[in-house]
Structure 1
């Protein structure tokens, strides 16, 4: 009888413990003066334009990138996609292009992007992120380029094949 009672209560014990589990909130981290790009190894803060960073599901390592373009080049590779937890980029409407602020990071998957702009960044054409479509359209009108959603950014686009 004791075994039966223990087995009957077992699911309740797990159910109770699941409700008390803490949900870890993921936040972007500051980019230090000596942090290097996870892709190219360049010192991130030496160059203009919006930066990117991401979290990995099974690691405390936070890869940081000298541009949102480099972040996409890493994140879109098939072998890296399943490892990624969250992606962050600078909101180009809320920070200085020459020296982006760590307080301007936004969720990369909900951002709008301007690709093909005349505005210079590092490592090829800029992929300028914005938290609103309106800000992205205004930027594209001023500096050129087209407005894209996260899922429209592809390796082919970044390679100039599209």
Structure 2
């Protein structure tokens, strides 16, 4: 009887612990501050134009942030990192300024549309411009060049120029 009573007492405690873990794994984007550095290359994130990215990692409370969506994808697509990622966020460039993207313009990277190979300058290499709709991505591609792609079409080979 004592064992049953103890087990019943621990169930609410175990439930509370698991809820705390879920809260710490929020998919909500965090603000990028002036002194934040890119998780991949170490550059100051806000010093450069173009869309930025960030992601969550299983069991981690820190949020890796990136100076570009390109760097975020280069990190996220590595096999050793891919299975650890809980979520990815990118800027919706249809609602924010290219030169200084706003922290309130983050969207889920997996549902975004991308323009690769645009003439717009980003940090290093061709930009991977992110948009919440296909229409916005298509309009951007018409204005500045590039190919409209889905999340699943962004690959290591594409980023490497192969």
TM-score, normalised with respect to structure 2: 0.87
Matching residue of 1:27? 28
Matching residue of 1:104? 105
For the aligned residues, what is the CA RMSD?
Answer: 2.3
Matching residue of 1:115? 116
Residue aligned with 1:156, SS:
helix
Provide Cα deviations, 1:71-94, integer angstroms capped at 9, x if missing partner: 000000000011111100000111
The whole-number CA distance in structure 2 between the counterparts of 1:32 and 1:91 is 18
Matching residue of 1:130? 131
Aligned pairs for 1:15-94 (under 5 A) are 21=19, 23-24=22-23, 25-94=26-95
Which has the larger Rg?
A: 1
Residue aligned with 2:46, SS:
helix
Poorly superposed stretches of 4+, deviation over 4 Å: 20-23
Provide Cα deviations, 1:101-136, integer angstroms capped at 9, x if missing partner: 000000000000000111110110000000001100
Structure 1: where are the runs of 5+ without partners?
none
Residue aligned with 2:125, SS:
coil
Q: Tell me the number of residue pairs that the alignment of Structure 1 and Structure 2 aligns.
A: 157
Structure 2: where are the runs of 5+ without partners?
none
